[in-house]
Structure formats: C-alpha cells, structure tokens
Amino acid sequence: MIEQLFPEVTCYALRYLDYSSLCQLSMTSSSMRKTANDDVLWRALYFQEFTEETNGGTPVNGWKAFFAVTKQVMTVNDKFFSILDSRSLPRMTSLWLNSDYVKCFNGSGELFTGFDAVMQRWDFCFDNWEIGFPTYVIESRTRILSSVAWVSTIALHHIGQFNITNVFELHNGRWLMVHHHSSIIPTNGVEN
C-alpha cells in the first residue's frame, strides 16, 4: 500500500498525478487525504506546471488553493485566445467585466476605455480580420493577488510575435477581463 511508504517517497510519487487525479486520490482514505493535501506536494506541483510569480512567499490559503486559482486564471486566459481565433463577439462580451473602467490597448495603438467602446473595438476587429487570430502561446506568466490577476504572454501569430498582458478581476466567483494590452515584438527593426 502506498500509505506504508515514507512520506517523502509518497509525496515524490504523487507529483506525477495531475490536479484532478490528486483531488480524487484525496477522497480514498483519511491517510491519503492528509498526504494528497500536503502543502509541500502542492508547492512542487505548482512549480512543475506554472512559472514562479509568487515572489518567494507562501500563499495565504496554501499551495493547493493557489494552484486551483492559478489554473482558473490560466483557463480564462486560454479562453481569450480561443475567442480571438473564433472571432465570436458574444463570447468576448461574456469574458469582460461590464464596467466603465475596463481598457483595451491593441495593435492599432489606440486606447479604448469602457465596456461599450471595448466591445465596439472587438466587433470592428472581428469584422475586418480576413481570418481569425490563431495564436500559439510560447510563454505565460501569471500573478495573482487576492481578487486581481494578470497574465503576461508571448504569443506567436503568422504576422509575428506579440507581447500580451491580460488583467482579470474576480467578481461573483468568475474571473473577468478588465484590461488587455497587446503589441507586436519588433524583430531587429524589421517589420514582418
């Protein structure tokens, strides 16, 4: 039985499980619950899956909760890229917080402030792109502070690489976008 192994060995072996498998394992017995909820294990899993953006501190609610929240934010950020590719204004509308202070600064160099202006901009972009905006995310870094999170991404598109920063706020249990900033990364002064 796995419960008979040294705790360090058990913890090491459990690092190979994914988030949902580890959560399911924690429901099998009281000893597995204790092992599967170990903060050292969740810290190791966090750093396996995500980059370090915690400034070396320990999350207030522990590493398991921090892992789950980071996963939620990354899922919402991935949804944003899926929406760009599909050019779906209804999906984009549901991703953003309906507020006057939301902002969007995309490749045009213009700043759009307020929900209506931001949605009008996305509508314009979706209508004028010949194809969707398929991107390949090269790197993402997430930073979460209580009810605010931001994701800095380097993404590849057929016209070049982009620096993209998305900021989300937690409202009624949902992470909603409040700020989007994207700019193309120059390649040795030559435009693609």
CATH class in words for 64-184: alpha beta
> What is the pLDDT at residue 105?
93
> What is the pLDDT at residue 61?
85
CA distance 75 to 20: 15
> What is the pLDDT at residue 6?
58
Identify the bridge partners of residue 152 per DSSP, sorted by sequence position.
141, 165
Residue-by-residue pLDDT tens, the chain, 192 positions: 555 555 566 666 676 677 777 778 777 777 777 777 778 778 878 887 787 665 567 788 888 888 889 999 999 999 999 998 888 999 999 999 999 999 999 877 889 999 999 999 999 988 887 665 667 788 888 989 889 999 999 988 777 788 999 999 999 999 999 999 998 777 765 554
Q: Are strands 160-171 and 174-184 parallel, antiparallel or unpaired?
A: antiparallel
> What is the pLDDT at residue 173?
95
What sign has the CA pseudo-torsion 86, 153, 47, 52? negative
Do residues 86 and 133 lie in contact, with contact meaning Cβ atoms separated by under 8 Å? no
**Sheet containing 148-157, strands listed edge to edge, beginning at the edge strand earlier in sequence:** 111-113, 103-105, 174-184, 160-171, 148-157, 136-145
CA distance 88 to 73: 20
Rounded to 10 deg, the angle between the 63-86 and 39-49 helix axes is 30
Helix (H, G, I), strand (E, B) or coil at 62: coil
Give the C-alpha distances (Å, rounded to integers) separating 146 from 23, 95, 149, 170, 175: 23, 19, 8, 8, 11
pTM greater than 0.95 (yes/no): no
> What is the pLDDT at residue 168?
98
